[in-house]
Amino acid sequence: MTTAHEPRPQPKRLHRTPTTSPGWPTPNRFDDDPYPGGPRILFVGHSDSTHTHAWVDLLKGAPFNVRVFALPDGVPPDDWPVRTYVTATTTEQLDPRTRERLYAADRVRRYPKKGYARFILRGPTLEERWLARVIRDWRPDVIHTLGLDPASAFYYRVRHTFDLQSIGRWVLHIWGGADLMPTHFDADAASRASAMMSECDQLLDDNEQGFNTARRLGVHADQLATIGIVPGTGGVEVDTIRELWNGPPSSRRVIVWPKAYECPWSKSLPVLEALTLCWDRIAPCELPCSPRRGCGFTRCPNASSSIAISPSAFHGTSCSRSWPGRA
């Protein structure tokens, strides 16, 4: 329900099958590559991130064998059929055709391995050992890490601990502002970033300033991606977005607020101030907002929120939570 308590025009929806993604073949077995002998690409990153999905999905329909090694803090959605190594602890039943899991869903079966990892194992973690085994066994042609920290740092440790430098070309994908701006003035953090970026074969970034910072940290010009700066999601599907439009922007009563959290990567207080200043001109409206879980610098909401904005709700008297996710 909108705050005006009146129906609003519904946007046109694209008709898509909810359980499959066009262009991604579903293997009979996880280990069966759909394109035998074709290039193998292993992504390392957050498997529940829309950034990861958007970037990986650029390869739908291409003759590449694609897999994702998920960081141990999330599980990909069931309707995303990209083959994924799941390292998170979860009781969910996963499709064995598209998911390999490190820990069993059953707690009784999972406990011995978790106990061994926590109390007995020394040196690299089980997750790091598994990534090393995946790289040695599958031997990807390209290893694409999504983000400087934790994805690239995770792979960098594995790469050196297990001497994997000779396997695959490393594409290091940094989110320029988020990865470099808060850290490159810190000597220790800058040194770690420099070591990683200087070792990659190609560096991708979403802004020119990130490339300039990388160059100052020792990255060579021939390591910078020849395609130039690329949006964090790989691009925007303009035609798809246009199909979702319904009427001019001034007639719409919804304001989508991604990254609705306060930390060095995103400032929410100026947005709230802007809403305060212009409320008389935009009311009534809805404000679906998407906080990111696990922000390392400050306390953030644990789930996304959809706030129906009204004069009373805007002052904090009404809020409903829904569709948790990661931006």
Which residue, chain included where needed, has tokens 């910072």? 213
CATH class of 40-223: alpha beta
Read off the pTM: 0.75
Nearest to 288 by CA among 253, 315, 264, 247: 253
Each domain of the chain, given as residue ranges in start order, spans: 40-223, 254-321
Distance from C-alpha of 289 to C-alpha of 327, rounded to nearest angstrom: 11
**Residue 76: which residues within 8 A CB-CB, separation 6 or more?**
47, 48, 53, 68, 70, 82, 84, 86, 99
Which class for 60: exposed (0-12), middle (13-18), buried (19 or more C-beta within 10 A)?
Answer: middle
Question: Which one has a higher pLDDT value, 14 or 190?
Answer: 190
pLDDT of residue 237: 75
Dihedral of the CA atoms 84, 89, 91, 94 (nearest 10)?
10
Among the ranges given (25-39, 132-146, 154-168), the one the predictor scored with the smallest mean pLDDT: 25-39
Both tokens assigned to 240:
């798809």
Question: Which one has a higher pLDDT value, 274 or 306?
Answer: 274
Which class for 16: exposed (0-12), middle (13-18), buried (19 or more C-beta within 10 A)?
Answer: exposed
